[in-house]
Amino acid sequence: MNGFLVGIDALLDPTVLVCMLLGLGLGLLVGAFPGITATMAVALAAGFTLTLEPVQGLAVLLTIYVAANFGDRVPAILINTPGTPASIATTFDGYPMAKQGRAGLALTVSAIGSAIGIFASLILFAAFAIPLATIANRLFGPAEMFALVVFGLTIMVSISSKSLLKGLLAGVLGLAIGTIGTYSITNDERFTLGLTDFRDGFSFIAVIIGLFGIAELLDQLLTHRPSTIKPISTLGRWWPNKSELRQIRKPMAISGGVGLIVGLVPAAGGDIAGMIGWDRAKAASKHPEEYGKGSIEGVTASDTASSATLGGSLTTTMALGVPGDSVMAVMIGSMMIWGISPGPGLFVNRPDLVVSITGIMLIATILSLGVSLVRTRGMVKLLDVPKHYIWATILVFCIIGTYATTNNLATVGMMLGAGIVGLVLKRTGFPAGPVVLGMLLGPLAEKELGRALLISGGNFGDVVSRPLTAALLGLALISISVPIIKKYRAARKSKTPQGPPSSSNDVAELSAAPGPGTTDK
């Protein structure tokens, strides 16, 4: 049987559909609750998907990933609060539309834009994942893999942190955590303090649940204040008319293109794509003055762009082994536990997985679109659920989910410790993304560097002077230099008196230096 048929056959298992329905419910729920990100949900779900078959587990996690992209638009439009960072740009026009009594229309257009963005990105994934993996498999030796890991890390650092130094330090912290345990080449113990629980290193799932789940929960506890914001209850008309459907075609095409490209950049997520897509669609619009004031084009642009990143993220994650965003970083952790190692060899050996993943994402998108269009009225009510229920449930599920990964309460302690560290990092402006990526990719980087040095007889110059390695390390250097140059230019600009910057420039700046929530879909 060829890969296509094997992939389809795996999807025909009825339990896969059950897993997808579970993921759909969870994804829409977490998306709709502000403060609970898709990363957090996928990390939590990883705890109870470990006992499943890989395709079943992927069905749960990928459906959460897709469904959260629909659910998070609801609070963005109705209470001006993004459900996840990927819907930040949705608030620009979604909330003004809702205030004008057009919330229903905004929700529908948003769902359609999100679905089209994901469909387009799936075409990209299905078409390019195997060729990219094949090329990488042929051209990438240990030196190139090491350089690729460095490139992925620097990209995440440069994107996810307002302070480059803080981002780099966060990356070093993650890499250092990745060294804890037994060094696989010589079996020497490193930083284990003599504890057997540390010999296998820190549990990746425990750390990510701590950094993304507990830290976020604790921060919400610390900063929560009674709010008088009420969801908009007058939803108005739901379906766009013919003229509105014509109007949204152009921004959809432009922002979809932006999303596809941004998605391919390792570690760049839907939040960045949403903002850039919105900005580009505005620049190309006949009515740019309406953007930010309740433009149907604006909602379409932001949501199509942010959703169109999904396929690209999946492509770089699965074909190269470098996470496309933080959700994908968590997904890699789960896949490794199932015995699947994302990277150039994956799709060459298991082409059926491309079919299974594409099928799951396709069905998940259709289901999410259907539920979003039919049940959005019900989801509005979710915004009224009191915080104490959400917080207590999250904390208990973080604990039980973490325990389920190893049946060891020491792992729960690790997770709670990571939560406290995550809170300190968050409050002091250190992004969590590079910590996770460093921890995940550190052992791989060390292994590949070790192999490359062994091949070159210990000559580091030979390792970095290989053409592809040099190119990737050069790109890594550029990705770090660009924010510094931009900052320097901005500082010089602010010293020379001139007129107010255009909103287009504002968005470009914003997308270059987003807050800590970035890349956390």
By CB under 8 A, the residues from 403 to 462 that bind another protein are 403-404, 407, 409, 412-413, 416, 426-430, 442, 446, 449-450, 453-454, 456-458
Should residue 190 be labelled a site residue for another protein when binding is judged by CB under 8 A? yes
Which of 15, 127, 139, 183 is close enough to bind another protein by CB under 8 A? 183
Is there a contact between 403 and 95 (Cβ–Cβ < 8 Å)?
no
Binding positions for another protein, 152-171, rule CB under 8 A: 162-163, 165-166, 168-169
Q: What is the DSSP string of 462-504?
A: HHHTSHHHHHHHHHHHHHHHHHHHHHHHHHHHHHS--PPPPHH
SS (H, E, C) 225-246: CCCCCCCCCCCCCCCCCHHHHH
Q: Is 397 in a helix, a strand, or coil?
A: helix
- In the complex with another protein, the residue whose CB is nearer, 122 or 435, is 435
Within 13 Å of residue 58, how many CA atoms lie on the same side as its CB? 25
Number of residues that bind another protein (CB under 8 A): 76
- Tokens (6 digits) for 98: 């809702």
- In the complex with another protein, the residue whose CB is nearer, 350 or 387, is 387
Neighbours of 470 (CB within 10 A): 15
Alpha-carbon span 255 to 89, nearest angstrom: 12
Is there a contact between 219 and 427 (Cβ–Cβ < 8 Å)?
yes
- Tokens (6 digits) for 103: 């919330």
Which of 9, 189, 290, 509 is close enough to bind another protein by CB under 8 A? 189
Should residue 195 be labelled a site residue for another protein when binding is judged by CB under 8 A? no
Binding positions for another protein, 64-93, rule CB under 8 A: 80
Alpha-carbon span 190 to 214, nearest angstrom: 27
Minimum distance between the CB of residue 333 and another protein, rounded to whole angstroms? 19
203-214 burial, b if ≥16 CB within 10 A, otherwise e?
Answer: bbbbbbbbbbbb
Among the residue ranges 116-124, 276-284, 336-344, 513-521, the one whose residues contact another protein (CB under 8 A): 513-521
- In the complex with another protein, the residue whose CB is nearer, 55 or 357, is 55
Alpha-carbon span 342 to 350, nearest angstrom: 10
Which of 123, 185, 245, 478 is close enough to bind another protein by CB under 8 A? 185
Minimum distance between the CB of residue 261 and another protein, rounded to whole angstroms? 26
Alpha-carbon span 54 to 414, nearest angstrom: 26
- In the complex with another protein, the residue whose CB is nearer, 386 or 500, is 386
Q: Is 1 in a helix, a strand, or coil?
A: coil
- In the complex with another protein, the residue whose CB is nearer, 119 or 430, is 430
- In the complex with another protein, the residue whose CB is nearer, 166 or 282, is 166
Minimum distance between the CB of residue 18 and another protein, rounded to whole angstroms? 12
- In the complex with another protein, the residue whose CB is nearer, 83 or 312, is 83
- In the complex with another protein, the residue whose CB is nearer, 104 or 351, is 104
Q: How far apart are the first and last CA of the chain?
A: 37
Minimum distance between the CB of residue 220 and another protein, rounded to whole angstroms? 9
Which residues have a Cβ under 8 Å from the Cβ of 233 and sit 6 or more positions away? 380
Minimum distance between the CB of residue 219 and another protein, rounded to whole angstroms? 8
- In the complex with another protein, the residue whose CB is nearer, 427 or 486, is 427
Instruction: Return the axis-axis angle of helices 38-49 and 14-32, rounded to nearest 10°.
Output: 150
Binding positions for another protein, 93-132, rule CB under 8 A: 99-101
Binding positions for another protein, 386-405, rule CB under 8 A: 386-389, 391-393, 395-397, 399-400, 403-404
Should residue 381 be labelled a site residue for another protein when binding is judged by CB under 8 A? no
Is there a contact between 8 and 355 (Cβ–Cβ < 8 Å)?
yes
- Which x/- pattern over 315-354 shows residues binding another protein (rule: CB under 8 A)? ----------------------------------------
- In the complex with another protein, the residue whose CB is nearer, 350 or 466, is 466
Minimum distance between the CB of residue 189 and another protein, rounded to whole angstroms? 7
Please give the C-alpha separations between residue 288 and each of 168, 301, 334, 410, in angstroms, as whole numbers.
38, 12, 44, 56
- Which x/- pattern over 282-301 shows residues binding another protein (rule: CB under 8 A)? --------------------
Which residues have a Cβ under 8 Å from the Cβ of 449 and sit 6 or more positions away? 142, 146, 463
Minimum distance between the CB of residue 277 and another protein, rounded to whole angstroms? 21
Binding positions for another protein, 206-265, rule CB under 8 A: 218, 221-230, 232-234, 236
- In the complex with another protein, the residue whose CB is nearer, 229 or 482, is 229
- In the complex with another protein, the residue whose CB is nearer, 297 or 446, is 446
Q: Which of 310, 294, 291 is nearest to 115 (CA)?
A: 310
Minimum distance between the CB of residue 126 and another protein, rounded to whole angstroms? 32
Among the residue ranges 138-146, 172-180, 276-284, 494-502, the one whose residues contact another protein (CB under 8 A): 172-180
Q: Strands of 166-229 (E only): list them.
A: 181-182, 189-190
User: Cα Rg for the chain, rounded, in angstroms?
Assistant: 22
Q: Is 182 in a helix, a strand, or coil?
A: strand
